[in-house]
Amino acid sequence: MLRTYEGTLKGNRIDWSGEAPPPEQPLRVHITILDEEDADGSRMAGALSRLADSGAFADIDDPSEWQRRVRRERSLPGRETE
């Protein structure tokens, strides 16, 4: 059975963030390095800027009305349609 533990790799040492594996014996592990997300949201801002520059939503006159219409058209499980 695979178990997952969260920690931070510092050199050749792992600092566990929460629950740690039992320390009584050596364990075989595979380490996956997680990409660091941009804390300031610069990737998201860039994507939104490119989207705006592309004119993808230029034909939408009233964004609020468009959003209401899209929500009405979407069927949701357990909810009656009007």
Q: Confirm if 24 and 30 have CB atoms less than 8 A apart.
A: no
13-63 pLDDT tens trace: 899 998 988 888 888 888 888 877 666 788 888 999 999 999 988 999 999
Return the bridge partners of 7, or none: 16
The answer to whether residue 27 sits within a structural domain is yes
| 73 compared with 6, residue with greater pLDDT | 6
- Please state, in angstroms and rounded to a whole number, the distance separating the CA atoms of residues 70 and 61: 14
68 found inside a domain? yes
The total of structural domains in the chain comes to 1
Q: Is residue 66 part of a domain?
A: yes
pLDDT at 68 exceeding the cut of 70: yes
Band of residue 80 on the pLDDT scale cut at 50, 70, 90 = low
For residue 1, being part of any structural domain is answered with: no
Is 25 among the domain residues?
yes
pTM above 0.75, yes or no: no
Which range marks the domain in which residue 53 is found?
7-33+40-73
* Residue-level pLDDT at 1: 76
Answer yes or no: is 62 within a domain.
yes
pLDDT at 40: 73
Q: Is 79 a domain residue?
A: no
Asked whether residue 82 is domain-assigned, the answer is no
